[in-house]
Amino acid sequence: MSETTPLNRRDFLRDSFGGGSALGGLLGLGLNLRAAQHEASRFKFASTREVPSVCPYCAVGCGQLVSVREGKIVNIEGNPESPINQGTLCPKGAATYQLAVNPNRVTHVWYRAPGATEWVKTKTLDWAMNRIAELTQKTRDATFSEWWETTDASGKPIKKKVNHTLAIASLGGATNDNEWNYVQCKLMRGLGVVFIENQARI
Ligand code: SF4
């Protein structure tokens, strides 16, 4: 009779399946999937550094853990310590890894000048930020009004102090969270912009 060594769950995963691909086999054997998943992920994230982050996709702001190995992102998943999502992610958030690590990702700013038919695809983010700032200032300076001329209830002409521009609008997207929108509103109101829309309704 041969001697057998007791096999714990971790040894079983490592020896039989190599860790990461074990789950299908475990299902067939009727083992506890949650425990197996936990063990498999321990192998998957060996030698990684975990960086807490926030899902970039919507205003819910679910917490994420970004696993980094040798300066490269190797995985992104829900952060169990986040009070918002407690480790869960919706399908979009669960695909965040593909947003960061993807050969199809656009890494330069595309610019099509007024009247041009082709995109210039080599501009940098710094260039784009400077261009936006330049056009914002130019538009504001050219359209800023200190006074609004109107009439009162009796039809008498009056002037109201407004300090605004009606030539710029700020349109927020679904990915802007409360904090972003707060700062964006501060900036816009400081510039005198009155057309402000965002998902946070502030
Ligand atoms: S896209 Fe999904 S995972 Fe991301 S913050 Fe919104 S609800 Fe959370």
Q: Is 84 part of any domain?
A: yes
User: Does residue 100 sit in the same domain as residue 149?
Assistant: no
Q: How much of the chain is helix, strand and coil, in % rounded to 5?
A: 35, 25, 40
Element spanning 143, H or E = helix 125-143
Q: Is 139 part of any domain?
A: no
pTM exceeds 0.75, yes or no: no
Boundary (domain end) residue, out of 80, 105, 130:
105
Among protein residues, the one with the nearest Cα to ligand 1's atom 6 is 58
Residue 139 — very low, low, confident or very high, per pLDDT cuts 50/70/90? very high
Which of the listed residues 54, 90, 96, 177 should we mutate to test ligand 1's pocket, taking the one with most ligand atoms within 8 A of CB? 90
Q: Is 60 part of any domain?
A: yes
Tell me the percentage of the chain whose pLDDT exceeds 90: 62
d(CA 123, CA 109): 5
Phi, psi of 27 (to 5 degrees): -60, -45
The total number of structural domains in the chain stands at 2
Q: Is 19 part of any domain?
A: no
Mean pLDDT, all residues of the chain: 84
Question: Is the per-residue pLDDT at 147 higher than 80?
Answer: yes
Residue 19 — very low, low, confident or very high, per pLDDT cuts 50/70/90? very low
Q: Is 77 part of any domain?
A: yes
Q: Which of 102, 108, 134, 107 is nearest to 120 (CA)?
A: 108
Q: Is 170 part of any domain?
A: yes
Nearest atom, ligand 1, residue 84 CA: 8
Question: Is the per-residue pLDDT at 141 higher than 80?
Answer: yes
Q: Is 156 part of any domain?
A: yes
Which residues constitute the domain of residue 177?
Answer: 144-198
Among protein residues, the one with the nearest Cα to ligand 1's atom 8 is 62
CATH code: domain of residue 97: 3.30.200.210
Tell how far the Cα of 82 is from the centroid of ligand 1, in angstroms.
Answer: 12
Residue 46 — very low, low, confident or very high, per pLDDT cuts 50/70/90? confident
Amino acid at 198: N
Nearest atom, ligand 1, residue 85 CA: 8
Tell how far the Cα of 8 is from the centroid of ligand 1, in angstroms.
Answer: 37
Tell me the percentage of the chain whose pLDDT exceeds 70: 78
d(CA 194, CA 152): 22
Q: Is 33 part of any domain?
A: no
Question: Is the per-residue pLDDT at 1 higher than 90?
Answer: no
Over range 70-80, report the average pLDDT. 95
Which of the listed residues 53, 54, 62 should we mutate to test ligand 1's pocket, taking the one with most ligand atoms within 8 A of CB? 62
Tell how far the Cα of 38 is from the centroid of ligand 1, in angstroms.
Answer: 22
